[in-house]
Each structure stands twice: as C-alpha cells, then as structure tokens.
Amino acid sequence: MDLRERALDKIWFHVTPPAALRSPGGMMVFERGEGCYLTEVGGDVYLDALSGGAFVTNVGHGRKEIADAMAEQAAKLAYVTPYNFAAEPTVKLAEKIAEITPGDLSRVFFTSGGSEAVETALKIAKQYHWLGGDQKRTKVISRHGSYHGSTHYAMSITGASHDFNSKIFAPLVPGTLQAPHHNCYRCELEQTYPACRIQCARTMEKIILHEGPDTIAAIIAEPIPSAASIYLPPDEYLPVLREICDKYGILLILDEVINGFGRTGKMFASEHWGVTPDIMTMAKGLTSGYAPMGATVTSPRVTSRFEAAGGRESGLNHVISFGGHAASAAGALKNIEIMENEGMIENSRVMGDYLLEGLKDVQKRSPIIGDVRGKGLLAAVELVRDKKTGQPFAPSDMLSAKFTAKMREEGVLMRTFAVAEFGPPLCAGRREVEKIVEALEKSAAWFASEAGVA
C-alpha cells in the first residue's frame, strides 16, 4: 500500500466524507513545506493559497527558527501544569499577547486550540455573571453562518452547519441563540446597505429585549466571518454591537481564531473598527501551526471580578492540561517575532489589496463571479450561476469538488465551500498573488463552460 492508501486506511480525516476523500486529489499526503509552497509525496509542488488548508501557517512553512526554539525549550523543560505552574516562555508569551492585543486585554488563559479557546470564553462569561449575582445570565447570542469550533458548546453556537448539528448531535447546549448575519451580498433580511441602517445589528437588540437582557451572558462574533463565506461587516456594525453590549451589561466576545495575527492586514481584525472586546479568542496564527495552541484573553473588567470574589468560585472551574505548553509557547514567541520583524502584517495589507484588485479584475470578465470581497490576505470569490440575480449553483453542479480540483490542477491549493476561499501565508509576494489570480481566471472560465453558463 502506498502512503495515501495507508492514510485512508488508518486516519479518520476531519469533516470530509469518505467518498470525497477517495476521489482523485480528494486527500493528499505532503512531505515538506517552504514559504508559500507545499510539496506532495512524489515531488509535485503546489502554491498553498489557504495556509496549510485552514488559514493557519501565517508566517509560512519551513521556518527552522521556530522549530529550533521549540526543540531547545522541549529539551530544557517541555511541560508543567497550568493549574499553578508556569514556564518562562509561557510568562513571556502572555506578556506579549497583552502587549499586542487591543485596548486593555491583558490576562491570558491558554488552550490547545481555537474550539477550546471559544469554550473557555463562554464559560468565563457565565462564571463572570454568576459571580456578579446574575445567575440568570446564561444565554449566548451568535450569528447565522458563523463558525466557532467543534466542541459541544462551540458547535452549539456555530450557525454555519446548525441544521446538520442539531439533527445529529442533539440536544445542543441550551441557551444558544442566533441573530441574522451581516452578509450584504446575501442579506437574509432582504435589505440593502446603507439604506438598511444595519438592521442585522438592530435585530440583535430585539432578540435581547425579547429574551430579557438579564438572561444574556455574551454576544460572540468573528469581526470578519471567515470559515464560512468570508464577508466584511459594514463599518458601523461592530461599534454598534459594542454599544448594545454596554447598554445591557452583556460581554462582547470577539473570535479572532482566523482573523488574528495579521491575516486581515492588522494584528487583530477588531482594530480595523477600533472595537475592544471584553474577551478575545485566538489560535491558528498564534503559532502558525508549528504547535497546537490557542488562547482566551480577558480585560480587567472580567478579571477583576474573579480576583475580588475570593473563595472557591474565584478560580475559573476549567482546566486544559496542555494550556500554556512551554515548548509551544517558545514556538509562538518566535512566530510572533518573525511576523513583526519581517513586516508580514503590512505585507498582508499590501498584498491583500493587490490580490483583491486582481480578483475583481477577473470578476469583470467572468460570467460566474458574483462577488469578490476581502481584507488583507483573506479573500472570497462567490461563484454563481446568474450574476444578475446571484442565483447560486445547485448541488448537482458539484461546484465545491470540481472547482477545488481544477484550481489544484492549476497548481493552487484552496477550498471552495459556499465561496472560493483564499488565505495564503503572509509572506506571499506578487508572484504568489499573480499565480492565484491566473489560476482563478482559468478555473472560472473552465467551470462556466462545464456548467453551461455563457
């Protein structure tokens, strides 16, 4: 059996159905990565236009300095428990995170990844209100179309595959509510911006009033929803969410698991709109995938309530053995150092603009590109059967499988769910951006003809 067959035989791959994995190119085995490129076993080289396939490898593949920093720390001290021990790089990383996050975010709870970071944020919010004597404040509002992770609570607030999850994994965690999304290309409230006066955010307030403000613990949102469709909020949206939270004593959680660490052209996407959350979640770009690690960062408003409480309840009743892992922390520190020293966040902004310009140019010539949007090196191309009406392709058109396969044939790895998604490493230059645009042009023309769209 070759490596691919052995992988299919023994690895339980995430999400992808077995038949799709067994289709040509449906599952790939890689042997190395360098910068923006991945080499498959056998030697074929691809441009990695989705940072390891999941918006993770922000600084790019093959950075030996990160591996060395981790190896050195692992040889010295790999691990101590996060109950009440810390290793030096974990202390330094917490300080670094406090320094680079916006506003007064300053206390860091380390996790092993993004789902756990979200899970942690939700539990912090509940315990925060409990300590304040607001035991009824247990509900959390997220948005339709959102993605926040795979653990049961994070899945329950995930709007993107809510029908599937509530059918198969029921019962979901109670007290999880969803408000309309702010996807202006497909407004579910059938409004048009700016005439809508961001009714999507106002609807959030209506839900709060309907449920009773004293029952709502938190609102959670990605500044730019990314795992499902990638769409930018209208400029007023996040400031209005902040206002609503303040008005009703609700905590605002911003999920920067994909958005963070330079992906959108700023260290954190919330900075584009000058909004500081009470709690921020992060993972992925925190280590650029060199180690599994996430974090939940809180403001003094939150932390001080725990500090003041005293007694058993002043400790967050939540523990993750690998939180703050010393070798992972050493890798994260080196990763952030590289990002800062090599100007990758600025590069994300500049190359992101160049990418958006290229994608929009292709849109002008393509009969099937309905919308192009993005910020920094995070971009989406919405492929539709009818540009005028925005009519999507039908499942029988097999857009996702066919379009992704064609892009791969053109040498570019990306993914197509509802939209074609791009998020290359932040070290991408003009050559990589031009390659993505060229592959998109060819693949869109091919798919239009395949689907019979003139």
Ligand X SMILES: Cc1ncc(COP(=O)(O)O)c(C=O)c1O
Identity of the residue, 58 or 443, whose beta carbon is nearer to ligand X in the bound complex: 58
Instruction: Judge residue 412's burial from the number of C-beta atoms within 10 Å of its C-beta, 0-12 exposed, 13-18 middle, 19 or more buried.
Output: buried
Place of tokens 């949206």: 237
352 within 8 A of 360, measured Cβ to Cβ: no
Phi, psi of 225 (to 5 degrees): -55, 130
Please give the residue whose beta carbon sits closest to ligand X in the complex.
Answer: 114
- x/- map, 216-245, ligand X, by CB under 6 A: ------x---xx------------------
Assess 38 for contact with ligand X (CB under 6 A).
Answer: no
Assess 114 for contact with ligand X (CB under 6 A).
Answer: yes
Identity of the residue, 113 or 352, whose beta carbon is nearer to ligand X in the bound complex: 113
48 within 8 A of 425, measured Cβ to Cβ: yes
**Of 231, 223, 224, 228, nearest to 252 (Cα)?**
223
Identity of the residue, 114 or 370, whose beta carbon is nearer to ligand X in the bound complex: 114
CA dihedral sign of residues 311, 317, 319, 323? negative
- x/- map, 141-170, ligand X, by CB under 6 A: ------xxxx--------------------
Assess 447 for contact with ligand X (CB under 6 A).
Answer: no
- x/- map, 115-144, ligand X, by CB under 6 A: x--x--------------------------
Q: Which stretch binds ligand X (CB under 6 A): 113-121, 173-181, 201-209, 264-272?
A: 113-121
- Residues 6 or more apart in contact with residue 253 via CB below 8 angstroms: 118, 121, 122, 125, 218, 219, 220, 221, 277, 278, 279, 280, 281
- Residues 6 or more apart in contact with residue 15 via CB below 8 angstroms: none
213 half-sphere exposure, CB direction, 13 A CA radius? 11
**Of 45, 20, 19, nearest to 33 (Cα)?**
45
Identity of the residue, 140 or 227, whose beta carbon is nearer to ligand X in the bound complex: 227
Identity of the residue, 156 or 226, whose beta carbon is nearer to ligand X in the bound complex: 226
- x/- map, 271-310, ligand X, by CB under 6 A: ------------x---------------------------
Identity of the residue, 148 or 406, whose beta carbon is nearer to ligand X in the bound complex: 148
Assess 257 for contact with ligand X (CB under 6 A).
Answer: yes
Q: Which stretch binds ligand X (CB under 6 A): 28-36, 80-88, 111-119, 430-438?
A: 111-119
Place of tokens 């990418």: 355
The tokens for 379 are 């971009």
- Residues 6 or more apart in contact with residue 365 via CB below 8 angstroms: 441
Number of residues that bind ligand X (CB under 6 A): 15
State the nearest-atom distance from the C-beta of 157 to ligand X, in Å.
10
Assess 323 for contact with ligand X (CB under 6 A).
Answer: no
Binding positions for ligand X, rule: CB under 6 A: 113-115, 118, 147-150, 222, 226-227, 255, 257-258, 283
